[in-house]
Amino acid sequence: MSHHGRIIPPGATLGVLGGGQLGRMFAIAARRLGYRIHIFCPEADSPATPVADRTFVAPYEDLDPVRAFARTVDVVTFEFENVPSATSDACSEVVPVRPAGRVLHITQQRLREKGFLRDHGFPVTPFRAIHSLEDLVSATRELGLPGVLKTASFGYDGKGQRTLRSATELPEAFTGLGGTEGIYEAFVDFAQEVSVVGARTVEGQFAAFPVFENVHAHHILDVTVSPARITPELEAAARELSRGILEALDVVGLLTVELFVTRDGRLIVNELAPRTHNSGHLTLDACVTCQFEQQVRAVCGLPLGSTELKQPAAMANLLGDVWNGGPPRWDQALSNPRLKLHLYGKASPRPGRKMGHITATANSAEAAIEAVRQARSSLQA
């Protein structure tokens, strides 16, 4: 097949490492553009499988099936970043991997990520590597208490982290790391949490979505709204910060920058995710181009689509808890004609498990938040 320059045209096959809901929504967007989709993931009944042309089921560590998967596709991308380096390396022997394995390597480990950001002059909270109880004691002396102790690798949705408030907690907290490397971060007194989903092509074209403002409950994203309730100056600064980080990492594809807005109006980078993001789901219903289509365009070398927000919108996650009182009343939630329902096809609702999300567009950010909160509570009424 002749590819014009480095374009991977519609009709080609896109490979995705990971089979969760981000992969499902990526596959749906890619299909609309006429691409075929192959998924590689360890689980047989993943959310992405019903919308993929082919699913390869094997552990990420099993490199023969990984290479077999790579041989069937024109490019490989991610929906799950905690893929071992050996897996993305095996794919890159066969086919382009976007973003590159180096981006994954940096972003999947907190010390490497924070170190990269600090060394490139991006704003991060002061941090220390923790390998012993002595390290933790001196880190709390230097950076103060309260602070946050996290495992350095493979944490998401607040797993593997705790806030430390007094010196008496240190021995137990260190034991809680279970012998793995830790990171201690100075406490950030933040007013808001926001995120920017940025996209970049092989040629270096960049586009950022409007800033999303995020409200968490029990370390899991609860509600996202855009436009974020921040000043135009901060909005511009956050998008510019995103551009700088994607360029420094040489990202081809999407990367999400999670930020704190401090009480004195500064931005501090909290975490990076080299993929689409839970907070970007409202783009499906509120932006000219959704984050998943943007990922397709970016990894295929197509021009990026408009990130314009058509109107204010809010998104609320639907966790398994919504099913606690019996089957949710979808009709009641959908009685708001501007509500959009997205379910991920997961068979068993477990508490804390992301089963889907709802989005509402409205005339203001506040009205949109009110609409999704009301619709979500009506599901259990």
Domains, the chain, with CATH or none: 13-97 (3.40.50.20), 126-186 (3.30.1490.20), 190-378 (3.30.470.20)
**What are the tens digits of pLDDT across the range 138-181?**
999 999 999 999 999 866 566 788 999 999 999 999 999 988 99
Q: What is the pLDDT of residue 2?
A: 41
Give the Cα separation of 40 and 16 in Å (integer).
6
- β strands within 125-239, DSSP E: 127-130, 147-151, 161-164, 182-186, 190-200, 206-208, 212-217, 220-226
**What are the tens digits of pLDDT across the range 221-238?**
999 999 999 999 999 999
Give the Cα separation of 36 and 109 in Å (integer).
32
The DSSP code for 73 is -
- The H-or-E segment that residue 203 falls in is none
Give the Cα separation of 242 and 225 in Å (integer).
18
Give the Cα separation of 161 and 218 in Å (integer).
12
Give the Cα separation of 360 and 281 in Å (integer).
11
- 202 residue type, one letter: V
Give the Cα separation of 56 and 335 in Å (integer).
40
**What are the tens digits of pLDDT across the range 238-265?**
999 999 999 999 999 999 999 999 999 9
User: Dihedrals φ, ψ of 89, to 5°?
Assistant: -65, -40
Write out the chain's pLDDT in tens, 381 residues: 444 558 999 999 999 999 999 999 999 999 999 999 999 999 999 999 999 999 999 999 999 999 999 999 999 999 998 899 999 999 999 999 999 999 999 999 999 999 999 999 999 999 999 999 999 999 999 999 999 999 998 665 667 889 999 999 999 999 999 889 999 999 999 999 999 999 999 999 999 999 999 999 988 899 999 999 999 999 999 999 999 999 999 999 999 999 999 999 999 999 999 999 999 999 999 999 999 999 999 999 999 999 999 999 999 999 999 999 899 999 999 999 999 999 999 989 999 999 999 999 999 999 999 999 999 999 998
pTM, full prediction: 0.96
Best CA proximity match to 116, nearest among 250, 234, 280 = 250
User: Dihedrals φ, ψ of 110, to 5°?
Assistant: -65, -35
